[in-house]
Structure 1
Amino acid sequence: MSHGPVGVALVGAGNISGQYLRNLTAFPDVRVLGVADIDAERAAEVAREYDVPVSGHLGTVLAVPEVEIVVNLTIPSAHAAVALESLAAGKHVYGEKPFAMNTDDGTKITAEAANLGLRVGGAPDTFLGAGLQSTLHALRSGLIGEPVAVTAATQSLGPESWHPNPEFFYQPGGGPLFDLGPYYLTALVSLLGPVARVAADSRRAHDQRVVGSGPKAGKIFPVDVPTHVNALLDFPGTATAAATFSFDSAVNRRVIEIIGTEGALSLPDPNTFEGPLLARGLHDTDWRELPLSGTTAGRGIGVLDMARSIRAGTPHRASGDLAYHVLELMVAIADSGERSEFRPINSTLTTPEPLPAGWDPYAATLS
C-alpha cells in the first residue's frame, strides 16, 4: 500500500479550476502534480500560477506515475470520456458535476471503476461542509422529530449576465436542473437517503438568450434545454420533497426547508460550505440560528476525503454511488418533465457517514 500524500492531477483549466487549486495546494495530504487542458498553453499558465510541476494535455498528466487521482473539471459533455480514459490509465477519478451526461455513461464509469478496482466520486462536496454536516447532526439528534416534507428551490434569471461563456449552461447537460440541481439533490440525498421515484413538469421561457458580459457580450445563442423545472421526490419511509429549478425567475431564491413532526429546519444554500442553519420548534414564534461545526474549507474537500480514504481503505463520502444516484434523479426528472408521469429510480446507496469530529483538511494525517 502506498503511503504519504496522494498525488493529484486536474483536467480542465477553466473558471472552476482556481477554486480547486487554491484549496488542494493548501491541503498537506494531497500533492497537485499536474494540470491538463485541451488548450496546453492555458494549462501551462494555470500550472505556473499554482507552482504545479507538470502541464499539458490529458495524456501528459496520466503518464505521471505518482498521480493517483484525476480531478475531472472538463465541460459536462467531456466528463465520461475523460473519466474512462483516466480509469484505463489506472487512476482514481473525482469529477465535477454532473457525473455524466446520461445514465448509460454513468453506468460505464462505475462499472469500469469496479472492474479495475479503482474509485470514482464526484462533486458537489458541499454536503461535507459545516452547514450541511451540522444539518445532518441536527436531524440525527431528533431535533425536529421525523422529517415529513421538504421544500427546495433555486431560482434566478440564469448565468448569462455574469458568465463570459454561458452557452453550455443552455445545452444538454446544462440548464438549472443539471447545473444547480446536483447541489440541492445531493444535499437532500445525503440527509434523507435515496429517492424511490420522481415526477416533474418543465418549461422553457425563451428560445434564445444573450451573453451579458465579457468579449462575447451581445452574442445571441440558442436555448436547448428546459429552464424551469418543478419536481416531486419520494423518499421512502420519510419525507416527500417539492423542488424548483429555474433560470426564468426575476426573484433570486435559494432555499431548502425540512418540516418534521416536532419542528423545522431552514438549511444553508447548498452551493456553499457555511451557514446559516436555522431551526424552529412547534411552539416557537421565530427561527433561531444553530451553531455550526465542521469545515468551511471549500471545493476540494471531497477529493481530500477520497485521498485519505484510499490510504485508510475506507469508503469515501462523495462517492460514485452518490453521484450516479443524483445523475439518475436528474435524468428521470428531465424525462418525467416531458412525459408528465412518475418515473422510478433504480439505483440506491448507503447514506454517507458524517465526517468525524475534528476533521481538519489542513492537518497532515498521511505520512
Structure 2
Amino acid sequence: MERLGIGIIGCGNISSAYLKAMAAFPILDIRGIADLNRSLAEERANEFGVRARDLADLLADPSIELIVNLTVPKAHVTVAMQALEAGKHTYSEKPLATDFADGRKLAALAREKGLRIGAAPDTFLGGSHQTARAIVDSGALGIPVGGTATFMCPGHERWHPNPDFYYDVGGGPMLDMGPYYITDLVNLLGPVAKVAGFATSARKERTITSQARNGESIPVRVPTHVAGVMAFENGAVVQIGMSFDVAGHKHVPLELYGTEGTLIVPDPNHFGGQVELLKKGGAFELKTTTEPYADGNYRSIGVADMAHAIRSGRPHRANGDLALHVLEVMEAFHKAAESGTTVSIATTTERPAPLSESLVDGRIGR
C-alpha cells in the first residue's frame, strides 16, 4: 500500500513516544516535524533521523497528507484548523479540544473540507483492550449492568518538567486522563446517554517537585477531583473517579459488570495488561490475549489505522465522532457539577470496528 506523507506539529514530551512507535508502521512516511521552539524540533529531528521544518513550510508541502498534532491541549483546535485549511487530514493528541463548542467547530470544518479528523487516545486498539472487547461481544457478561472507572494520583507535578497546563483551563484530571477511560468504555459498551457529577479542588496552588523547577508554585484553575456516573445508551451505569489529589488507592482501572459475569480491564493508558473474567458462580480467570499490539507502547497506532483507512477508503477507528462524543461527556461532568443536575449527551457515535489483525502485514502480531 502506498505510504502516507506525515507532518508532525509539536515536539514536546509526548512526541518521542509517537516518533518511536511510528517506525513500526511502514505506511507512515514522516516528512517533517515542526515546533514554535525551533531548537526543540531540531533536537527531535536529530534524535529520530527526520527533518525539522517551519510550520508554514510543513503545511504548504503537497506531499504531506496528514498532520499529527502533538501541541499542548489549548492549541489543539487552532493547529488542527490550520491543517484542515491547508487541505490536510489531521490527527490530534487527546483531547480533541478543551471545549466542546470548539470541537464541534473543528468537526464542521472537516466536513466542509471533505477531510478526516482523528484523535487520541488509541490505546483502546491495544491487544488487551481488544481482548476485552471480544469478551463483551461474545455475550459472556450477559446483560451489561454497570462498572467502575478509576484514575487517582497525587498529581503530575511530581514528574512532568512543565506541568502548568495540567492545572490551567482545559486541563485537570478529567480532560487529561478521562479520554483513556471513557474512550475505552465507549469501545466496550457504546455511547453515553446521560451524565451526573461532582467536582472539587483541594488546593489553589501546586508545588512542582520535578527538576529543574523544583519548589516553584503554580496556580490551580480547574477542578482536580471529579466523581460522577455515566448512563450508557445500552442501559449500563458506570461510576467514574478522576483525581490529582489522592495519595493512593486499591481500585483497578476498569471493571465491567453484567448479569452473567464481571470483567477486569487493564489500564486504558496502556496497550497491554491482564484481562480477567469471572463467570457467575465461578472465580476470576486470566484470559489470554491473542490480538496484536499488547506487548509495547504503540502510541501512534491510531495514526497508522487512519492512514490505512485513507488509502483503502474505510472508516478509521480513532475518529472525530468518537473523540467529539468523549469530549462532550467529559465536559458534561463539569456542567453537572456546576448545575447540580443530570446532563444529557447530544452527540452519539458508533463503536469502532474491532482490530484483530496487524496493521503491518495483515497477520496477527507485528
Tell me if both proteins adopt one fold, taking TM over 0.5 as the criterion. yes
- Bigger drift between 245-254 and 107-116 goes to 245-254
1:279-335 CA distance string (max 9 Å, x none):
111111x32110112223510000000000000000000000000001101111111
Q: Does residue 1:72 correspond to 2:69, yes or no?
A: yes
1:349 match: 349
In the aligned structure 1, how far is the partner of 2:40 from the partner of 2:157?
A: 23
1:45 match: 43
1:317-366 CA distance string (max 9 Å, x none):
000000000110111111111221101100011111101x3x2233389x
Structure 2 residue aligned with 1:99, among 96, 99, 110? 96
Secondary structure, aligned partner of 2:222: coil
Q: Taking every aligned residue pair, what percent have the same amino acid on both sides?
A: 43
TM-score w.r.t. length of structure 2 = 0.95
- Bigger drift between 289-298 and 10-19 goes to 289-298
2:203 match: 206
Contact 1:99 1:327 survives alignment (8 Å): yes
Q: Does residue 1:266 correspond to 2:279, yes or no?
A: no
In the aligned structure 2, how far is the partner of 1:329 from the partner of 1:8?
A: 30
1:316 match: 316
Secondary structure, aligned partner of 2:209: coil
Gaps of 5+ in 2: none
In the aligned structure 2, how far is the partner of 1:336 from the partner of 1:58?
A: 39
Matches within 5 A, 1:140-159: 140-159=137-156
In the aligned structure 2, how far is the partner of 1:247 from the partner of 1:64?
A: 41
TM-score w.r.t. length of structure 1 = 0.95
Q: Once the 2 structures are TM-superposed, how far is the Cα of residue 56 of structure 1 from its aligned partner?
A: 2.8
Secondary structure, aligned partner of 1:196: strand
In the aligned structure 2, how far is the partner of 1:26 from the partner of 1:151?
A: 33
Closer/same/farther in 2, CA of residues 222 and 254 from structure 1, 3 Å limit: farther
2:239 match: 242
Closer/same/farther in 2, CA of residues 287 and 35 from structure 1, 3 Å limit: same
1:137-164 CA distance string (max 9 Å, x none):
0001111212101111101111111111
In the aligned structure 2, how far is the partner of 1:237 from the partner of 1:87?
A: 35
Q: Once the 2 structures are TM-superposed, how far is the Cα of residue 42 of structure 1 from its aligned partner?
A: 1.0
Matches within 5 A, 1:260-339: 260-284=258-282, 286-294=283-291, 295-296=293-294, 297=296, 298-339=298-339
Q: Once the 2 structures are TM-superposed, how far is the Cα of residue 237 of structure 1 from its aligned partner?
A: 2.8
Secondary structure, aligned partner of 1:363: coil
1:45-69 CA distance string (max 9 Å, x none):
211211113x233212112211111
Gaps of 5+ in 1: none
2:122 match: 125
Q: Please, what is the CA RMSD of the aligned residues? A: 1.3
2:185 match: 188
Secondary structure, aligned partner of 2:115: coil
Misfit runs of 4+, over 2 Å: 361-365
Secondary structure, aligned partner of 2:255: strand
The one-letter code sitting in structure 2 at the alignment partner of 1:157 is P
The one-letter code sitting in structure 1 at the alignment partner of 2:36 is I
Q: Does residue 1:29 correspond to 2:27, yes or no?
A: yes
Secondary structure, aligned partner of 2:316: coil
The one-letter code sitting in structure 1 at the alignment partner of 2:113 is L
